[in-house]
Structure 1
């Protein structure tokens, strides 16, 4: 199977997840700015979730620039990755409705971030195994996988921090997202060199 079909499918699912997430918004009970201000927590969590999904999408896009063939294990790993992302609308709505003060919704939201990172790590690991005969791509995959291990550890710390103060989950996971906001530049260089070599 061509990687372009998998990438197109993934793009569509992530677009649907974002659409479902914004549809969870309830209109204010009144027509005043005060009523809109009362929804600030929902907007804050939605913005965070939107940025998280954007970061996951950008990294997925860059990762699959190394891929030219998709095996069945990669297909299933990608489906697991999408499953983890599909929990974001529910987790976003639940945490936003609590004004960021409840322990369990905050831990659940942190758990969704943890699952998403584990899903991405599973996908990268599967790609490494699938391309183990291709030296350069495997080395680049390995860089993303090591980065993912540290990211998962940060997610666990974020979940534990909810016992201290629930908003810390968003703060720690937000710092974690910043690390992933700029994808691995080695992948970009590798793709650029390969494209210019073929010219």
Structure 2
């Protein structure tokens, strides 16, 4: 394959990075809309404590989802800061990841309006997070397989893959526990504090990775 043909398949990562940042910012903003609607319906006879009590589940879902999306964005932003170019495969992985991010405000609204012990609600809400974690891992695996796209050494990309694998594994565990034991509400998500230790364990298992040269131009 000639150099012009291969170059045409890749383009600088700045536009893709800026687009992803904008979409994530919009998704995080959309999280507040259900609360804005309920606040607009407040009458003078309604006190603030009453409103907070009536919409406690929505407030909890909002804060939780905001934190989860922020975590996904921070990890994505740190990775893409070291991505030089984007090819079609990475672009479509990123578009799928953004689809999951944009869906999260919908899953959040459902979890805030429906019963907390509803298994289907748990499956949709935590399942959506699990899907986004899977798509995050797929982006990293694509980058690891195509070192020409980024500036990360093998040890760095392997460590990042290990952390993403740990995050996916813990989200999957949270999903199973929340569906099997719906009375626990969303407290199984506190298992996510174990991402760091589990990620370090996976990193030791995976090893530093083998040095890879640049792909032929």
Tell me the TM-score normalized by structure 2.
0.74
> Does structure 2 retain, via aligned residues, the 8 Å contact 1:154–1:172?
no
Aligned equivalents of 1:138, 1:69: Cα separation in 2: 17
Determine if the alignment matches structure 1 residue 23 to structure 2 residue 33.
Answer: yes
Distance 1:106 1:99, change over 3 A: same
Query: Which residue in 1 is equivalent to 2:76?
Result: 60
Alpha-carbon contact 2:85-2:149 (below 8 Å) kept? no
1:110 corresponding residue in structure 2: 126
The number of aligned residues is 182
Structure 1 residue 11: Cα displacement: 0.7
Aligned to 1:37: 53
Distance 1:61 1:111 in 2: 23
Q: Does 1:80 align with 2:123?
A: no
Match of 1:14 among 14, 24, 30: 24
> Matched residues in 1 for 2:151 and 2:24: separation?
31
Does residue 169 of structure 2 align to residue 159 of structure 1? no
Q: Distance in 1 between matches of 2:169 and 2:159?
A: 16
Q: Which runs of 4+ in 1 moved over 6 A?
A: 132-135
CA contact (8 A) 2:119 2:178 kept: yes
Instruction: Name the structure 2 match of 1:188.
Output: none
For residues 99 and 130 of structure 1, the distance between their equivalents in structure 2, rounded to whole angstroms, comes to 45
Moved more, 103-112 or 127-136: 127-136
Question: Measured at CA, do residues 45 and 10 of structure 1 come closer, stay the same or move farther in structure 2, by a change above 3 Å?
Answer: same
Q: Which has the larger radius of gyration?
A: 2
Gaps of 5+ in 1: 185-199
User: Hey, what does 2:205 align to over in structure 1?
Assistant: none
Corresponding residue number in structure 2 for 1:191: none
CA contact (8 A) 1:151 1:176 kept: yes
1:141–1:172 CA distance, 2 compared to 1 (3 A): farther
Question: For residues 111 and 133 of structure 1, do their structure 2 counterparts lie closer, same or farther at Cα, with a shift above 3 Å needed?
Answer: closer
Question: Residue 84 of structure 1 contacts residue 115 of structure 1 at CA under 8 Å; is this kept in 2?
Answer: yes
2:186 match: secondary structure: helix
CA gap 1:55/1:167 in 2 versus in 1, 3 angstroms: farther
Could you tell me which runs of 5 or more consecutive residues in structure 2 were left unpaired when the two chains were aligned: 1-10, 201-217
Cross-structure match for 2:3: none
The normalised TM-score by structure 1 is 0.81
Q: Kindly indicate whether the alpha-carbon contact (under 8 Å) linking 1:95 and 1:109 is maintained by their aligned counterparts in 2.
A: yes
Counterpart of 1:27 in 2: which secondary structure? helix
Write the distance in 1 (CA, Å) between the matches of 2:61 and 2:112. 6
Cα deviation code 1:125-158 (max 9, x no counterpart): 1111121698953331221212222222222221
